[in-house]
Chains A and B, each alone.
Chain A
Amino acid sequence: EVQLVESGGDLVKPGGSLRLSCAASGFSFSNEWMIWVRQAPGKGLEWVGRIKSKAHGLTTDYAAPVKGRFTISRDDSKNTLYLQMNSLKTEDTAVYYCTTFSAWGQGTLVTVSS
Chain B
Amino acid sequence: DVVMTQSPLSLPVILGQPASISCRSSQSLVFSDGNTYLNWFHQRPGQSPRRLIYKVSNRDSGVPDRFSGSGSGTDFTLKISRVEAEDVGVYYCVQITHWPPYTFGQGTKLEIK
Contact = CB atoms under 8 A, between A and B. Distances in A.
Contacts of B60: 102
Contacts, number: 50
Interface stretch (B14-22, B24-32, B48-56, B65-73): B48-56
Interface of A: 35, 37, 44-47, 49-50, 61-64, 97, 99, 101-102, 104-107
18 contacts: A44-B105, A44-B106, A45-B92, A45-B107, A46-B104, A47-B101, A47-B102, A47-B103, A47-B104, A61-B101, A63-B101, A99-B49, A101-B51, A101-B54, A101-B94, A102-B51, A106-B48, A107-B48
Contacts of A50: 99-100, 102
Nearest to B104: A45
Contacts of A61: 99-101
A105 B48 contact: yes
A79 to B, nearest CB: 19
